[in-house]
Amino acid sequence: MKDAYSFDLDEAGAMKSYGEMRETYHRIFKRLGLDYRVVEADSGAIGGKTSAEFQVLAQSGEDHIVACTQCDYAANVEVAEAQLSSEARAGESAGAPEKLHTPGVGSIEDVVAFLAKAGHAGVSAARMLKSLVYVSGNRTVMVVVRGDHQVNEIKLAKALGGGEVHLASEAEVRRATGAAVGFAGPVGFRGEILADHAVANVVDAFTGANEADHHLARVNFGRDFQATLADLRMVGAGDLCPRCGGALAAYQGIEGGHVFVLGTHYSAKMNAVYLDDTGKEVPMVMGCYGIGVSRLVAAAIEQNHDADGIAWPMAIAPYHVIVTSLGKEDAVREAAERVYEGLRARGLEVLYDDRDERPGVKFKDADLLGIPLRLTVGGKGLAQGSLELKRRGEKEFTLVPVTEAVERVAAAVIEAGGSLRG
């Protein structure tokens, strides 16, 4: 990682530094030719705000993100939000909750299958209320989300005021609910209950009965149980964008950079202060920026390869061009060496392949290495005063005059985002 920090006199200055660094990262990622998203993110243990991650999209990525298909909203699923459904809550039954015998079925999938087989119309994961018991310090709370949703533990921790949270053990669940894991529910639960906003819109839900081998039907928030509502769930593909209402799409990403404002927490501890106009000591406002140098190399390969090997973006390719000499004739060798030296003198990074190998082997190795340009020097082309210039990934080559080869290659490098020495 390349880490950097900024120190400013006030919040406005810190935001200006943050904006400049964020724009710098944009230029870096664009020059690398990466397909990426800037996503809202959690700052983690280091704290801070205005947190944004630069996520390189890749199926092998370890991070999960969502991005709107209609606007520029994007976020790590750890902090992603979704627009609440505008559908009106209606059709609540008048009857009290009904206890159902559900022997040996505790998971959402198993309960749905069991109830559907038993003839309960309309049962689905979306009509189930998933009730999980969590522990945070000395607090034991029941967290309720819709059956097709997952609890977001980072959001939960924030809703509980910070600190670590973890699922209760089987013994703790029994003590809190009187039943085994899989049969917990909010109706009759005497402890603290937090529920996701979506729970309030579920009509006549099915949920655990706090009794072994039993569930309840016709459960409704506000009538049968009370809870503190909060944003507690993981957001996923198909949810509605919190900004524009468009559909969210899911991606996997590799975190290549992270920028955020730290505030004064650490500067105050380090005594990084200045005297204001009144002579009072004031801590500086810090910003924090990190970019994964080696990680971006791996991410670039993930996005730029084919069956033949790597296809390096020009800006980070180990060599701009490979000069491939074909044939043992002195004229071919001398011409290849002249071009090689000419390219180096022009400021290009050049690899010279003068091995005694068949053309197919040399071409295959050049593709495997992923060098963006291949300039081939052969007897047949020299006889016509030309060389073969081929871009990595393209099937066809272009004939270029020997006298123009150096400048043509240099122009191709610059056009593709590379830079020359000197």
Q: What is the pLDDT of residues 199-219, one digit of tens each?
A: 999 999 999 999 999 999 999
Model confidence at 152: pLDDT above 60: yes
Q: What is the pLDDT of residue 48?
A: 60
Listed residue (130, 235, 148) closest to 193, CA to CA: 130
Question: What would the pLDDT profile of 337-391 be if each residue is shown by its tens digit?
Answer: 999 999 999 999 999 999 999 999 999 999 999 999 999 999 999 999 999 999 9
Q: How many CB atoms lie within 10 A of CB 194?
A: 21
Identify which of 56, 74, 46, 27 has the alpha carbon closest to the alpha carbon of residue 287.
Answer: 46
Q: Indicate the SS3 state at residue 347.
A: coil
Q: Which of 81-90, 234-243, 374-383 has the lowest mean pLDDT?
A: 81-90
Backbone torsions φ then ψ of 214, nearest 5 degrees: -140, 145
> Coil, strand, or helix at residue 249?
strand
Q: Is the per-residue pLDDT at 413 higher than 60?
A: yes
**Whole-number pLDDT of residue 285:** 96
C-alpha 15: how far from chain center: 24
Q: Within a 13 Å sphere around the CA of 122, how many CA atoms are in the beta-carbon half?
A: 8
- Do 321 and 343 meet the contact criterion of CB atoms below 8 Å apart? yes
- Burial (CB count within 10 angstroms: exposed 0-12, middle 13-18, buried 19+), residue 27: exposed
Query: Is residue 88 scored above 70 in pLDDT?
Result: no
Type of residue found at 381: G
Strand partners, 54: 38, 257
Question: What pLDDT score does 20 carry?
Answer: 97
Cα separation, 117 vs 113, in Å, equals 6
Mean of all residue pLDDT scores within the chain = 93
For the segment 406-410, the average pLDDT, to the nearest whole number, is 97
In this structure, are strands 139-146 and 166-167 parallel, antiparallel, or unpaired? unpaired
No. of helices (H) and no. of strands (E), the chain: 10, 24
DSSP 8-state code for residue 247: B
Q: Which two tokens stand for residue 177?
A: 């609910």
Given a cut of 90, whether residue 43 has pLDDT beyond it is no
Residues belonging to the chain:
422
Measured between alpha carbons, how far is residue 356 from residues 281, 324, 338 in Å?
72, 11, 19
Whether 13 has a pLDDT exceeding 90, the answer reads: yes
pLDDT, one tens digit per residue, over 168-188 is 999 999 999 999 999 999 999
Structure-model confidence comparison of residues 75 and 93, the more confident one: 75
Phi, psi of 224 (to 5 degrees): -100, -20
Non-local (6+) Cβ contacts of 107 within 8 A are 182
What would the DSSP string read from start to end of 51-104? EEEEEEE-TT-SEEEEEESSSS-EEETTT---PPP-PPP----SSPPEEEE-TT
Q: Which amino acid is at 40?
A: E
Report the candidate in 222, 215, 165, 167 with the shortest Cα–Cα distance to residue 195. Answer: 222
Which three-class secondary structure state does DSSP give residue 172? helix
Q: Are 127 and 138 in contact (CB under 8 A)?
A: no
Give CA–CA dist 161/179, Å, rounded: 28
Residue 321 in this model has a pLDDT that exceeds 90: yes
Q: Dig out the tokens for 79 from the structure.
A: 């902090």
Domains and CATH numbers, the chain: 2-82+238-302 (3.30.930.10), 110-230 (3.90.960.10), 310-415 (3.40.50.800)
Contact 370, 382 (CB under 8 A): no
Say yes or no to pLDDT of 81 above 80.
Answer: yes
Alpha helices in 148-209 (DSSP H): 153-159, 170-177
How does DSSP classify residue 387?
A: E
- The pLDDT confidence band at residue 106, using thresholds 50, 70 and 90, is confident
| Bridge pairing between strands 321-326 and 373-378 | parallel
User: Which are the contacts of 235, defined by CB distance < 8 A and separation ≥ 6?
Assistant: 66, 75, 77, 80, 81, 82, 152, 248
